[in-house]
Structure 1
Amino acid sequence: MNNKSKELEKILITIRETSERDLDELSDSIDKIIECHITNERTISLIFDTILSIEFIEDDKKIKVFHKLSNYCRSFNEELADDYDKILEQDLNYDYDEEWNDDLEYETVPWFDEGMKQFKSNDREYLKSKIEFRNFFLKVKKEVQDFPKLNELSKEELQNNHLFGELSYLAIRFFNEIMTDDDFRNLKYSLKRIKKYGEEVLKDMFEYYTNKYEK
């Protein structure tokens, strides 16, 4: 990892882990990111997400920070930055098909990444229908013999075994239903929580949807 990457990683970790900050400190961190010439959409989207999660900063101040970043992420142009309500309506979760900036090194949890990727995929749009989702869940349930250990699945196993991918999707869908919007949005920042949930989520998910769709 080169010096620029180490500096950027340090900045990102600070922003991800520190929620109690003043606007000047946040702006300084963003200035440092821009100085690193970072244009990767996933990285910048992470910063937008983080800004939104800091509740004590007033909306008008958040918008000023959005403007500072608007030229560096194609999903957030100046027009959008002017309208805080539109920003809140946007899907601020980055595209899980993209990798982190090539120069950065982050630990990932493959089942979570695959589940999020499918959750955001247009291929799963039809599952917004309650009937279609019920049928999908019952089909997957019928196919499952034993629960895999999610945390031990590799990226290749998830991509090559459709059932593992579908179970990962169902786990994320389950989180989305039972968590608050803030908790769901911020879950991706905590590898420790993701791995802990990975130990029991399939059992909890199947119990939840079985009670919902088979009664």
Structure 2
Amino acid sequence: MNPLLPLRDAWFFFTRHLTTLVPLCLPWIFLESLLQQQIDEAVGPQQMGAWSLVAGLLFYPLYTAALILFMDARGRDERPRVGQLWSAALRLWPAFALLAALTSLLIVLGLSLLILPGIFVMVKLSFAEFCLVLRGRSPLQALRESFEFTRGRFFLILACSLVILLPVWSLEAWLADSAGDAVVLRVALHALSGFFQLLLTIVAFRIYSLGPAPRNGM
């Protein structure tokens, strides 16, 4: 499949439902950015890694699970309220947080070996969140199923991920340098970057929803 097709669909969904995505996800992303900024000031950037992961585990499962549930509901032409999605995401938080921790650990382990193993693991685990939220799988089952379901779609997922992440990361780095020591501006820019990274979940969901891929290659 041409990567431009799921990217186009993801952008269309993102812009069409922007008025829902902002109240659904941005408050949690802003709180996550604010907490990470406080951690940075408390422990310093050199020791921030592990604490930043903890901050992510608090909020990332909430807004990502809510986003996945919203996309699934819109696929069935349903319009759940933001409060309903938050409530459902909160019930999923323990399992989702464990899955996020395991995923982060595996990716970091892969990156510590070489860059390519880390990228491979990141792509192969890109469906794990959908398996947990929509299929009711345990974290370990979700990891296994993601490895299976991404077979035949590795390069499609990788291409779409790079198209989204590289510009966002580059813009975030440039804006962070421009913001300097302005804490409020840095938090706002980090939250804005995190909000646009929702496109990564949206495009992965679009590929996931296409159904089984040919069982060849990675």
Q: Do they superpose with TM above 0.5?
A: no
Structure number with greater CO (CA < 8 Å, separation at least 6) is: 2
TM-score w.r.t. the length of structure 2 is 0.32
- Tell me the TM-score normalised to structure 1 length: 0.33
Q: Which structure shows the bigger proportion of residues in helix conformation?
A: 2
